[in-house]
Amino acid sequence: MITSLFMLMPVSLVMGGFALFLFIKAIKGGWFEDVEGPKYRMLDDDPDEEPEIPQQQRQQIKQDRRKQKHNRKNSNNEPKHTDHGSN
Protein backbone atom coordinates (compact mmCIF):
# COMPACT_ATOMS: atom_id res chain seq x y z
CA MET A 1 0.00 0.00 0.00
CA ILE A 2 2.79 2.41 0.81
CA THR A 3 4.57 1.61 -2.45
CA SER A 4 1.46 2.50 -4.40
CA LEU A 5 1.36 5.88 -2.64
CA PHE A 6 4.95 6.53 -3.67
CA MET A 7 3.94 5.80 -7.26
CA LEU A 8 0.64 7.69 -7.28
CA MET A 9 1.89 10.87 -5.60
CA PRO A 10 4.38 11.81 -8.36
CA VAL A 11 1.87 10.86 -11.05
CA SER A 12 -0.80 13.09 -9.50
CA LEU A 13 1.67 15.96 -9.08
CA VAL A 14 2.72 15.71 -12.73
CA MET A 15 -0.91 15.65 -13.87
CA GLY A 16 -1.78 18.62 -11.66
CA GLY A 17 1.22 20.55 -12.95
CA PHE A 18 0.23 19.81 -16.54
CA ALA A 19 -3.32 21.00 -15.85
CA LEU A 20 -1.98 24.18 -14.26
CA PHE A 21 0.30 24.73 -17.27
CA LEU A 22 -2.64 24.39 -19.69
CA PHE A 23 -4.79 26.74 -17.59
CA ILE A 24 -2.10 29.44 -17.53
CA LYS A 25 -1.52 29.02 -21.26
CA ALA A 26 -5.27 29.44 -21.89
CA ILE A 27 -5.39 32.62 -19.82
CA LYS A 28 -2.39 34.11 -21.63
CA GLY A 29 -3.84 33.04 -24.98
CA GLY A 30 -7.02 35.05 -24.36
CA TRP A 31 -9.45 32.15 -24.27
CA PHE A 32 -11.34 33.65 -21.33
CA GLU A 33 -11.41 37.30 -22.34
CA ASP A 34 -14.99 37.44 -23.63
CA VAL A 35 -17.08 34.75 -22.01
CA GLU A 36 -20.42 36.60 -22.16
CA GLY A 37 -20.22 37.87 -25.75
CA PRO A 38 -21.04 34.74 -27.79
CA LYS A 39 -24.38 34.09 -26.11
CA TYR A 40 -25.55 37.61 -26.98
CA ARG A 41 -24.00 37.63 -30.45
CA MET A 42 -26.26 34.82 -31.62
CA LEU A 43 -29.31 37.00 -30.90
CA ASP A 44 -28.17 39.85 -33.14
CA ASP A 45 -29.99 40.13 -36.44
CA ASP A 46 -27.58 41.69 -38.89
CA PRO A 47 -28.76 41.16 -42.48
CA ASP A 48 -25.55 42.73 -43.85
CA GLU A 49 -23.54 39.71 -42.70
CA GLU A 50 -25.67 37.17 -44.60
CA PRO A 51 -24.12 36.10 -47.90
CA GLU A 52 -25.91 37.09 -51.10
CA ILE A 53 -26.79 34.24 -53.46
CA PRO A 54 -25.77 35.02 -57.06
CA GLN A 55 -28.57 35.32 -59.62
CA GLN A 56 -27.39 32.32 -61.65
CA GLN A 57 -27.32 30.08 -58.58
CA ARG A 58 -30.77 31.33 -57.52
CA GLN A 59 -32.20 30.40 -60.94
CA GLN A 60 -30.61 26.94 -60.73
CA ILE A 61 -32.22 26.39 -57.32
CA LYS A 62 -35.63 27.39 -58.74
CA GLN A 63 -35.23 25.00 -61.67
CA ASP A 64 -34.24 22.16 -59.36
CA ARG A 65 -37.28 22.79 -57.17
CA ARG A 66 -39.57 22.78 -60.22
CA LYS A 67 -38.09 19.46 -61.37
CA GLN A 68 -38.57 17.94 -57.92
CA LYS A 69 -42.15 19.18 -57.77
CA HIS A 70 -42.84 17.83 -61.25
CA ASN A 71 -41.30 14.44 -60.38
CA ARG A 72 -43.34 14.19 -57.18
CA LYS A 73 -46.51 15.13 -59.05
CA ASN A 74 -45.91 12.48 -61.72
CA SER A 75 -44.99 9.79 -59.24
CA ASN A 76 -48.27 10.31 -57.36
CA ASN A 77 -50.35 9.92 -60.55
CA GLU A 78 -48.79 6.65 -61.66
CA PRO A 79 -51.07 3.64 -61.17
CA LYS A 80 -49.98 1.18 -58.59
CA HIS A 81 -49.35 -2.27 -60.05
CA THR A 82 -50.08 -5.20 -57.84
CA ASP A 83 -49.27 -8.74 -58.83
CA HIS A 84 -51.67 -11.22 -57.31
CA GLY A 85 -50.11 -14.19 -59.05
CA SER A 86 -53.11 -14.88 -61.31
CA ASN A 87 -50.94 -16.33 -64.11
Q: Give pLDDT tens digits for 25-54.
A: 999 998 888 878 888 877 877 656 556 777
Alpha carbons 26 and 21: distance in angstroms, whole number: 9
In terms of Cα–Cα distance, which of 75, 15, 1 is closest to 23?
Answer: 15
Least confident window among 50-59, 66-75, 76-85: 76-85
The predicted model gives 64-76 an average pLDDT of 80
Taking the model in full, what pTM does it have?
0.42
Each domain of the chain, given as residue ranges in start order, spans 51-75
Rounded to whole angstroms, the Cα distance separating 67 from 79 reads 20
Of residues 41 and 7, more confidence is placed in 7
